[in-house]
Amino acid sequence: MTSLEVLLSNLEDFQPKLLVLSGLHMMEGLSQEERTSRLQEAASALSDVPSDILIHLELASMTDGDMMRGIIYQVFPLISSLGLNEQELLFLTQSANGPHSTLSAWPAVPDVGVVSDILLWILQGSGSEASGLTRVHFHTLAYHIIATIDGFWENQVAAVAAGARVAGTQACASETIDPARVMLKSPLEFSTSQMETGYTARISAKEPVAVWRNGGVTFHFTPVLICKEPIRTVGLGDAISAEGLLFSESKTQ
């Protein structure tokens, strides 16, 4: 909280267009009372951020459902963008009884339709009364999806591709993708939803990004060229989300 307070107290000095936050999961080590108090303090501080500054939150693995629900209902309404992986996505929907919450674990490659259903639910409010979220960047080993509420973000084809590319280059500790050092595990054909009538999307070397819409939300999907013998994995999720944000364009600024 001290770091967050210092950061927010200096907003006028450096006048950012975007804040990238992480570390809320570290509150799990506190007592229930301390955690509740700290989370309320964080939400209060974020509510004072000027509305023209976008806020991206990068989630991390948690095991406490009360903590996750607190983030959903107190923090999500105050942020614009969210980054998370498959473990965090599943725990999020389990904690708030969202879509596919009875799923105990993912298969080796998470089903794209199931992931899309949960992302749609998050952007439609996650069961809370209101949410400021308009963008979610989901990343798993085999593929990435960026889902955005229509009318808020542009250039998401480039953003999702950039995030997937940096996943391969950073893991291999290389500046470019070396075909001999990577492999593909992503499905090339998949259903876009498992809860309602969707359609079958396809990707290819010529069209590596699939795009579809559902309920006022646009989804951008692309495979990841996975490093066969990874060298750098620490901070990979942060690098992925940061690269995607770098290429994202907000229509509200």
171 near 230, Cβ under 8 Å?
yes
Element (H, E) at 180: none
* 8 Å CB contact between 241 and 163: yes
Cα within 13 Å of Cα(95), Cβ side: 22
* 26: helix, strand or coil: helix
CB–CB of 46/132 below 8 Å? Answer: no
48 a catalytic residue: no
Termini Cα distance of the chain: 28
Mark 59-83 as b/e (b = at least 16 C-beta within 10 Å). Answer: bbebeeeebbbbbbbbbbbbbbbbb
Cα separation, 39 vs 42, whole angstroms: 5
Among residues 64, 111, 178, 238, the one annotated as catalytic is 238
- Using DSSP bridges, classify how beta strands 135-139 and 143-149 pair: parallel, antiparallel or unpaired: antiparallel
Catalytic residue numbers read 238
